């Protein structure tokens, strides 16, 4: 199995759900999703290099290179019903993969699910944070709920964590898909009502990129509602996976 898959896709499931984590995160963000969604959905969290079980591997910092690699590994699994869920940075990865599939005439996801991310034509979140000191960046991330305050007391751990975040933010900075291009697949948008980093209206701007049906879902919680409100989110995700609009077909 490819190291990019944190679990083996189930060929017998009705739909495969590929999940892409936030900057500084890892595949374990989605560890509980399979149990909640059940056997009809095969949850496949994507594990990028340089974290958890891939900690010794060099991280990728360029979106085009990353999508090249991911398409090599995901390609054989995208010929049957599938969906993408991406959170924050992961949303841009999921969107970039969908744009690449559209450009090459590949089958598009049956649902593209975007969580806690500004629309790509808007300014990138934390674009200036790359130049902050480790402590400044760490305190900012703690404030948003993206890092444990404990790390601030251990400079080596903090340096490792902020280095990963900076590399992941570079992926967002190098995203070539900033223009508005209608995607002819259903798009589900998830925003946290108390997210101070990405406002609800900024998530809603993704609807300008939708060439098919789209819907905005506002959940309680901040930027990391994927953890804080996982049950509420998963109820929505489960419902969306059973709602492919009548008459729509993948390309």
Q: Return the ∠ at Cα 7 (arms to 6 and 11), rounded to 5°.
A: 145
Task: Give the whole-number percent of the chain exceeding pLDDT 70.
Answer: 96
pLDDT digits (tens, 9 = 90+) for 64-123: 999 999 999 999 999 989 999 999 999 999 999 999 999 999 999 999 999 999 999 999
Which pLDDT band holds residue 28 (cuts at 50, 70, 90)?
Answer: very high
Rounded Cα–Cα distance for residues 208 and 108 (Å):
18
133 CB neighbour count, 10 Å cutoff: 10
Ordered alpha helix ranges (H), 115-154: 134-144
Which one, of 212, 171, 169, 205, lies nearest residue 189 by Cα?
A: 205
Question: How do strand 111-115 and strand 187-192 relate by DSSP bridges?
Answer: parallel
Quickly state the pLDDT bin for 219 (edges 50, 70, 90): very high
- Lookup: tokens for 54: 């891939």
Does the predicted model carry a pTM greater than 0.75?
A: yes
Task: Decide if pLDDT at 13 tops 60.
Answer: yes
Which segment of 37-46, 86-95, 146-155, 213-222 scores lowest on mean pLDDT? 146-155
- Residue 245: what pLDDT? 40
Tracing tokens 């056997």 back to the chain, one arrives at 39
Maximum mean pLDDT: which of 138-142, 152-156, 217-221: 217-221
Identify which of 249, 248, 242, 230 has the alpha carbon closest to the alpha carbon of residue 19: 230
């Amino acid at each position: 199995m490819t190291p990019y898959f944190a679990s083996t896709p189930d060929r017998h499931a009705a739909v495969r759900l590929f999940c892409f984590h936030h900057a500084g995160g890892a595949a374990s963000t989605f560890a509980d999703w399979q149990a909640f969604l059940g056997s009809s959905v095969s949850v496949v969290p994507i594990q990028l290099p340089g974290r958890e079980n891939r900690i010794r591997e060099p991280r990728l910092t360029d979106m085009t290179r990353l999508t090249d690699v991911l398409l090599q590994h995901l390609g054989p699994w995208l010929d049957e019903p599938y969906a993408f869920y991406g959170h924050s940075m992961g949303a841009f990865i999921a969107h970039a993969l969908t744009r690449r599939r559209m450009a090459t005439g590949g089958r598009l996801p049956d649902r593209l699910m975007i969580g806690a991310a500004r629309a790509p034509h808007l300014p990138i979140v934390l674009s200036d944070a790359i130049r902050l000191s480790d402590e400044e960046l760490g305190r900012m991330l703690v404030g948003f709920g993206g890092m444990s305050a404990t790390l601030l007391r251990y400079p080596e751990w903090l340096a490792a964590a902020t280095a990963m975040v900076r590399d992941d933010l570079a992926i967002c900075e190098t995203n070539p898909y900033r223009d508005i291009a209608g995607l002819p697949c259903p798009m589900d948008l998830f925003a946290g009502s108390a997210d101070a980093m990405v406002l609800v209206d900024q998530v809603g701007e993704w609807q300008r990129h939708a060439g098919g049906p789209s819907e905005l879902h506002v959940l309680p919680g901040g930027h990391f509602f994927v953890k804080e409100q996982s049950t509420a989110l998963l109820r929505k995700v489960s419902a969306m996976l059973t709602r492919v609009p009548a008459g729509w077909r993948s390309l």
